[in-house]
Amino acid sequence: MGNITIFAGGFGSGKTEIALNFAIDRAREVKGVVLADLDIINPYFVSRDVKTELQENGIRLIAPGGELAFGDVPNIPAEIIGLIKQENDMVIDLAGDESGALILGYLNEYITDRQNYDLYMVLNPYRPFSSDLESVMELKNMLERTSRIKFNGIISNPNLVEESNIDVIVDGHLKVLGFGKWLNLPVKYLTVEQQFYQQLFPKYGELLKGIKIYLRPDWLRGC
């Protein structure tokens, strides 16, 4: 069966953008990619906002619908369990809070039955919930304890949105590497906006992954 890749992180970590990019990149290689938007407690930047673009790339989006699509209550899409049992590549965008962990715990037996799965912690060290080791450890322990699934890697996503520059990325990534050492977790990728990719590739090589920003609203662009 295909792989399940789960991205979890605190508010502002950038996990939804990374999940979107990962799903779209994967869809260029294989058919049958599913993106499950399970960030359903605090749906501020959510992958279902770009449903049309996902469809154009052949990606099936699974997300809450109807009146509860943007509600503040747990609302797990009914078809998610059936899709986990099928042959596909699935990407899960998961809230990095207790509610997200409860959802993952509910799906535990179905995910672990697939055997091929990865749970990645997305860290932006410039955000409050991942700016220090204590907060990162608390996030890791809470998610693992409640979901009963262990993290097997970190996605480093250091940025200050429009104020990002090379120094911000390099310094932030060093901090994330320190977190990874303490947590005994490998850093799988360093994600950066495409505009920084060419400059940073000589330094980081294949660790570097350029991403497109799909969900940034106009007011964050200074409009």
Q: Which pLDDT tens digit goes with each residue over 134-165?
A: 999 999 999 999 889 999 999 999 999 889 99
Domain locations in the chain as residue ranges:
4-221
Helix ranges (DSSP H) in the chain: 15-27, 51-56, 80-84, 98-106, 108-114, 133-147, 166-183, 194-204
Q: Which residues pair with residue 94 across a beta bridge?
A: 8, 38
Q: Residue 67 and residue 47: Cα distance in Å, rounded? A: 17
User: How far apart are the C-alpha atoms of 61 and 149, rounded to whole Å?
Assistant: 23
For the domain spanning 4-221, the CATH number is 3.40.50.300
What is the percentage of the chain residues whose pLDDT exceeds 90? 57
Specify the pLDDT at position 47.
52
- 106-142 residue pLDDT tens: 899 999 998 899 999 999 999 988 999 999 999 999 9
- Reported pTM: 0.89
Measured CA distances, 160 to 103, 156, 217 (Å) = 29, 13, 15
What is the rounded distance in angstroms from the CA atom of residue 197 to the CA atom of residue 211?
A: 9
Instruction: Tell whether the model's pLDDT for residue 220 goes beyond 50.
Output: no
| pLDDT given for residue 159 in this prediction | 96
pLDDT at 34: 94
Q: Is the predicted pLDDT of residue 209 greater than 80, yes or no?
A: yes
Question: pLDDT tier at 102 (50, 70, 90 boundaries)?
Answer: confident
Q: Are 111 and 149 in contact (CB under 8 A)?
A: yes
108: number of Cβ within 10 Å? 14
